[in-house]
Amino acid sequence: MNYKQTGTKSNRLSTPVADLARVLIPYRTPDQLRSTLEVALTVIPFFVLWAACWWAYSVSYWLCLALSIPAGTFLVRLFLIQHDCGHGAFFQNRKLNDWIGRILGVFTLTPYHVWKRSHALHHAGSGNLDKRGIGDISTLTVQEYHERDFWGRVSYRAYRNPITLFVVGPAYQFLLRNRLPQQYDGNSRQYWISTMGTNLTIAILIAVMIYLVGLVPFVLIQLPITLVASSIGVWLFYVQHQFEETQWDYTDNWEQQDAAFHGSSHYDLPGILRWASANIGVHHVHHLNSRIPFYRLPQVLRDLPELAEVKRLTLLESFRCVKYHLWDESSRRLVTFAEARTINT
């Protein structure tokens, strides 16, 4: 089957997305050995780097902070394994997926079942303007922004400021907000158990670590690692959906598979960063079929090379995404605040 594009790299495929979704089905089967190896190749280096930070703390705190960057990167990778477990994509056994996800949730400070439900709703409503607000970056249309009063526009600008999005927001989300259960449907008991069970296990682990290394060293080591990981994670999520030629529609014009594919980017990172981020940059394929394990996403691009250029963003290009804040329904793209001033609604 031919998936040739027409025009530039951001244009649609000539083949219906529904047909492409069917082609992706064979890639969903996880390799149990490979999945186990990926866990080991992430967990072991994370603990080794944490120990290296502890050693460096007694030598130079600047060296400790430098080592917190790769340690935080491996913590992101732990979260992405948890992410695949939440999709039921990492192991063939559902219970094994869930238990690995729960355990990793202690280290990522993320109650597994609460996040799993939130993320499922994100996938189910991605690109739908009527289903904003769960598991996404808050995004207004140009018209909605113009209709806000002065303070409403100021608050939205403050929210979309890079310091808020990539520093304050991630810290708040993982350190504070995740400590209380979020409610998404009537099954509140499961969310409370997930959240409080995760909190209790985190508290026990913190107590053990404080006993072993001391309160001040633990805080000065773990906090930078957590902040690095949370900021990297939110940045990745932002670039995957907040790029100029993403796709949003109201329910009447929204189609899930089309929105999933065309509303997600292909964040084409250098090789080492692709590995470190568990290929999450191949996000257009992931959203079209979330059951594909992350280590099989490169195989999809090799077998269907046309997909590599669809919605492609390089590392350098991705930094421009920070300036896009509002969805313009007329031009069907994200625009800057400056551009929004010239748009009549």
pLDDT in tens, 6-64: 334 545 566 788 888 899 999 999 999 999 999 999 999 999 999 999 999 999 999 99
Parts of the chain with a pLDDT under 50: 1-8, 10
What span, in angstroms and rounded, lies between the C-alpha atoms of 328 and 344?
Answer: 10
pTM for this one?
0.92
> What pLDDT is recorded for position 343?
84
> What is the rounded average pLDDT for all residues in the chain?
92
What span, in angstroms and rounded, lies between the C-alpha atoms of 18 and 332?
Answer: 22
> What pLDDT is recorded for position 2?
36
> What pLDDT is recorded for position 187?
64
Both structure tokens of 58: 């007694």
> What pLDDT is recorded for position 41?
97
Pairing of strands 266-268, 333-335: unpaired
Closest among 207, 290, 219, 237 to 76, alpha carbons compared: 237
8 A C-beta contact, residue 195 and residue 176: no
Scanning the structure block, which residue is given the tokens 């090379």? 305
What span, in angstroms and rounded, lies between the C-alpha atoms of 50 and 35?
Answer: 23
